Amino acid sequence: MSERRTTAVLDRNGLDSLVEALRAQGRTVIGPTVRDGAVVLADLASADELPFGWGTRVEAGRYRLVPRADGAAFAHTTGPQSWKAFLHPEREKLWSADRTADGHLSVAEDRPESPSYAFLGVRPCDLRAIAIQDRVLTGGRYKDRGYLERRAGAFLVVAECTEPGATCFCVSMGSGPGADTGFDLALTELVDEHGHRFLVRVGSDAGDAVLSAVPHRPADPETRTAARDAVDAARERMGRAMPPVNLRTLLGESLEAERWDDVAARCLTCGNCTMVCPTCFCTTTEEVTDLTGDHAERWQRWDSCFDLDFSHLHGGPVRASARSRYRQWLTHKLFTWHEQFGSSGCVGCGRCIAWCPVGIDITEEAAALHDELAERLRPDARKEPEP
Ligand code: SF4
Ligand code: SF4
């Protein structure tokens, strides 16, 4: 990779050229755009479709678009979708079977060819989430072939965070607001007295090749400093934080905590938190047939550990109560995920907080578990009462 291209500056028009260059490579460019009152991820025909002039206001159980005077494109928090909607789609046909004229069955794996994706505006927390799903879906003995194909050709353009939301806590999960590796290009958006521009860092040879096809200028020291300061300032403005304790130990010690009853009284077991989570990966399979019985298909679709059927063994669900299902979700995220996949299953994106219909907050639940455990371990709390 050429050293002189490791950092550059794009102006607003440069962003148009970047999308054009990616599309010229035959890529499907996916990025944020405003639709249905939210910033969603969609196929972009041009950079004009980015959410220029839109920010977001988020809180537990709340998400609103808010206009911004500065015209920034990436000054919004994560929306209801994540990149897993494209790499690990909600529904995927695995195979179909047809009865032939002689009464036999013909089975075909009719997967469509994977698009060559370019993801524009990947937040650092979501970049970490992609790395986690890489490990889960392709890092073991059994690999998800569809994921592998879609991920192999994906070009990643990060947009570092300069406007964290009230539900964000990537700093306490070590996954943002800046990105160091794992991308092809990384943008840091700046809107100030020197204009609207993007500091670009190159992270791969593929990124270097794309940047060379886009009008840009070498990065000046002022822009580099301003970009670093903007990300540092975002680090100081995180809306939330996980308690500064070993979360693995905390969850491991909290299996019988009373707090699970408290959260179970509020949780609707709707599964929204698992649907919006960029790392949740569980799927189930289902077969459908047509009315003639001559054609059948097997589909893979997202599943949720909040679904009663998810833990159904002979006779009924293993986790029949809301208490046991929420506990399973949180304990897997913060504790057993480490044992399975070598990392936490949470990147601090805050989606599960914003999109929970009753505003259950993973950081608040972890803090409550911590307080309960600390109380239980307090030396005088363990003393037997005086006779
Ligand atoms: S925590 Fe919230 S989003 Fe998750 S299942 Fe319960 S009610 Fe639904
Ligand atoms: S558990 Fe919540 S905050 Fe953590 S990665 Fe999933 S959606 Fe984001």
Find the 142 Cα to ligand 1 centroid distance in Å.
Answer: 30
Residue pLDDT, tens place only, 229-266: 999 999 999 999 999 999 999 999 999 999 999 999 99
Residue bearing the CA closest to ligand 2, atom 7? 277
Q: Which three-class secondary structure state does DSSP give residue 38?
A: strand
Question: Could you tell me where the beta strands, DSSP code E, fall in the chain?
Answer: 7-11, 28-35, 38-43, 54-59, 62-67, 91-99, 105-108, 117-122, 155-159, 185-192, 195-202, 217-218, 283-289, 295-302, 312-313, 316-317
Which residue type does 80 have? P
Residue bearing the CA closest to ligand 2, atom 2? 352
Residue bearing the CA closest to ligand 2, atom 5? 346
Residue pLDDT, tens place only, 67-91: 999 999 999 999 999 999 999 999 9
Residue closest to 359 by CA, chosen among 259, 241, 270, 237: 270
Pick the more confident residue, 314 or 261: 261
- What pLDDT does 383 receive? 56
Question: Is the dihedral angle over the CA atoms 190, 191, 194, 197 positive or is it negative?
Answer: positive
Cβ 210 vs Cβ 18: under 8 Å: yes
Which residue type does 156 have? L
Mean pLDDT score of the chain:
95
Please tell me whether the overall predicted TM-score, pTM, comes out greater than 0.85 for this model. Answer: yes
Question: Is the dihedral angle over the CA atoms 23, 28, 31, 37 positive or is it negative?
Answer: positive
As beta bridge partners, residue 98 has 106, 295
Q: What is the Cα–Cα distance from 29 to 45, expressed in whole angstroms?
A: 7
Residue 2: which pLDDT band, with cuts at 50, 70 and 90? Answer: very low
Does 278 contact ligand 2 (Cβ within 6 A)? yes
Cβ 298 vs Cβ 96: under 8 Å: yes
